Amino acid sequence: MTLIDTLGLRRPRSLSVKKPSLMARLALWRSRRTLAHLDARALKDVGISPDAARREAQLGLWDVPPSWTQR
């Protein structure tokens, strides 16, 4: 389970069930990069540990949340 799943984010309806689009993957990558740059106070506000944020930020474009590829 990824941090994105933990936060309750779901696959956008416009995405294919089996293969997320490149645009969706890039949006996910941008979100992860933003998460990586949050300070400890901001991470605490959203309930994420710095270690969890670091792990999520290190995931690649191909590492999409399981909810994006399952029905």
pLDDT band at 12 (very low <50, low <70, confident <90, very high): low
Q: Against a cut of 0.75, is the pTM above it? A: no
Tokens of 46: 């959203």
pLDDT band at 65 (very low <50, low <70, confident <90, very high): confident
Residue 64: predicted pLDDT: 84
Residue 37: predicted pLDDT: 92
- The sign of the dihedral angle between the CA atoms of 18, 63, 42, 49 is positive
- Is the pLDDT at 22 greater than 70? The verdict is yes
- Is the pLDDT at 13 greater than 70? The verdict is no
Q: What single-letter DSSP state applies at residue 14?
A: T
Residue 4: predicted pLDDT: 63
